[in-house]
Amino acid sequence: MTPYSLAFFLDVVTTGTVLGAGPADGPGRVSDALGADFAENCFGRTAMTRDYGLPEFYWTRESPDAPWEGHHFTVQVHRLAYGRRGAAGAVLHERYGRFPRRLPFEKLARMLERRGTPLVEVAEDPANAPYYRRFWQPRAEVAISVIGLRETGITPSHLRSGDVYSISAGVGAAGVSLPTG
């Protein structure tokens, strides 16, 4: 892992943005930050995603005539494990260099702690536990999904226990089960 590619993940978790584009930003603002190389999918006429390699941004709107409203984004870290050239996307590769196949959560958490950005483990959806674990960064409202217990057919075979699966922003505190007490 290059220090530059690690910097990308640290920036996403600390700021809740990808190159300054946040979960509430519209499609134009996101393309300004990430470029015009994306795959677009529409679900009916009121939901849309754009896939920029690692990051995927999601929008909704009330009607086909209404403007798109940012909903959330997810950095699909697990895609790196396939080793496909260019998986990060041209803009991210140009800015951060080579990306590793895996992102160990321990390393990410340690570096975030050094930056004064601690993470809190929160309850995972019971349907996914104990195979996945979820961590929360409250200041930027970012959730990190980590491979917990490996299980054939449930967790990706190309990832190990402790690898980051994805990083999401825009889910809000209501989107995670915060610890009580």
SS3 sequence, 5-43? HHHHHHHHHHHCCECCECCCCCHHHHHHHHCCCCEEEEE
Question: Is pTM, for the whole model, over 0.95?
Answer: no
Residue 141 DSSP SS3: coil
10-52 pLDDT per residue, tens? 999 999 999 999 999 999 999 999 999 999 999 999 999 999 9
Q: Has residue 79 been placed in a domain?
A: yes
Q: Has residue 181 been placed in a domain?
A: no
73-101 pLDDT per residue, tens? 999 999 999 988 888 988 999 999 989 99
* Residue 42: strand pairing partners: 48
Q: Has residue 126 been placed in a domain?
A: yes
Q: What is the pLDDT of residue 181?
A: 40
* Per-residue CA distances from 25 to 34, 46, 142 (Å): 12, 16, 16
Range of 91's domain?
Answer: 3-171
Contacts of 145 (CB under 8 A, 6+ apart): 132, 133, 134, 164, 165, 166, 167, 168
Q: Has residue 110 been placed in a domain?
A: yes
Contacts of 1 (CB under 8 A, 6+ apart): 99, 100, 103, 107
**Local structure of residue 100 (DSSP, 8 states):** P
Q: What is the pLDDT of residue 84?
A: 86
Distance CA 125, CA 78 (A): 19
How many domains are contained in the chain? Answer: 1
- How sure is the predictor about 180, in pLDDT bands with cuts at 50, 70 and 90? very low
